[in-house]
Amino acid sequence: MGFEYSKTESGIRIDKCTDSTDFIKVPATIDDLPVTAIGNYAFTRCTEVREIDLPDTIETFGTRAFSWCHRLMKITLPRSLTEIGCQAFEWCLRLMIFGIHNSDAVTVKLPDNVRDIGAEAFINCVNLHAIKMPASLTNIDYAAFKGCRSLAFVEMPDSVTRVADAVFSYCENLTGVRLSQSLTKIDNGTFKACNKLAQIKIPGGVVNIGNGAFRTCKNLISIELPASVEKIGSNAFRDCENLVAIKLPATVEISRDAFKGCNDSLKMIRY
């Protein structure tokens, strides 16, 4: 069959792929039980695989489930998927057809039941252009999209309550982001070195702008912080060399070097 697997309470978990072909099809059932999970490291370093066909019975991807599959180009996310584990697609450098494929851009449309995107889940997926997130999503963990250098647009539903540190850091072509209105914090380094990000709307409930949140966003021109913001972390806007105006609450606490290296003519408009 080409797989090592285990029986779990919910069905079958694929633990290891032993197939070295370029196309792998995971069956919907094994031993008359549904295949519900891709386990930790199951396809890690399957260097020959180019396409993986997954059934709609699968609910979870484990840690590094598909990491370092350098030739992997096509995979379709199961509609039943609820959780994408840490580093699930780490260093899948050629991943180009993923969920929805447009003629000139690659868009990931996550299935409607996904609740969590694990730490570094898509780190360095350099061909990913856009991500559309479902209304079921609540958590995006550490550095989930870090280094996705082709990522241009992100649409985030209001169901998301947590975006962890460095999630979109070093997405050097990111130009548009729609943030969840449920966020209370822009975490540390979230948009660090997003060099093409010129503008972003901060949701009204955000209380804290984390350390280095927008550091080295060299094209950021202006930004308005809502009245809810109480603190701007250290180096939050450091080296935003084209930032010329920021509107911020009169009582906000500004930490050390928050605006170091910014434009000399930067205007802080307090209200």
Question: What is the model's pLDDT at position 101?
Answer: 40
Q: What is the DSSP letter of 201?
A: P
Q: Tokens in use for 37?
A: 């999970």
Q: Report the pLDDT averaged over residues 46-59.
A: 92
Q: Indicate the pLDDT class of residue 198, thresholds 50, 70 and 90.
A: very high
pLDDT at 105 over 50: no
Q: Environment class of residue 138 by beta-carbon count within 10 Å: exposed (0-12), middle (13-18) or buried (19+)?
A: middle
The more confident residue out of 101 and 115 is 115
Beta bridge partners of 186: 209
Query: pTM for this one?
Result: 0.89
Q: CA end-to-end span of the chain, whole Å?
A: 66
Task: Judge contact between 222 and 242, C-beta under 8 A.
Answer: no
Burial of 196-218, coded b for 16+ CB within 10 Å and e otherwise, reads ebbebebbeebebbbbbbbbbbb
Q: Report the pLDDT averaged over residues 120-130.
A: 88
Task: Judge contact between 123 and 93, C-beta under 8 A.
Answer: no
pLDDT at 190 over 90: yes
The residue behind tokens 């197939």 is 19
Return d(Cα 254, Cα 222) in angstroms, integer: 17
The residue behind tokens 């997405």 is 171
The more confident residue out of 153 and 102 is 153
Q: Indicate the pLDDT class of residue 107, thresholds 50, 70 and 90.
A: low
Task: Judge contact between 65 and 88, C-beta under 8 A.
Answer: yes
Q: Report the pLDDT averaged over residues 13-23.
A: 92
Q: Which residue intervals of the chain are DSSP H helices?
A: none
Task: Judge contact between 63 and 41, C-beta under 8 A.
Answer: yes
The residue behind tokens 């082709």 is 150
Question: What is the model's pLDDT at position 126?
Answer: 87
Question: What is the model's pLDDT at position 130?
Answer: 81
The residue behind tokens 């069905």 is 11
Q: Indicate the pLDDT class of residue 97, thresholds 50, 70 and 90.
A: low
Question: What is the model's pLDDT at position 104?
Answer: 43
Question: What is the model's pLDDT at position 96?
Answer: 64
Side chain identity, residue 203 = P
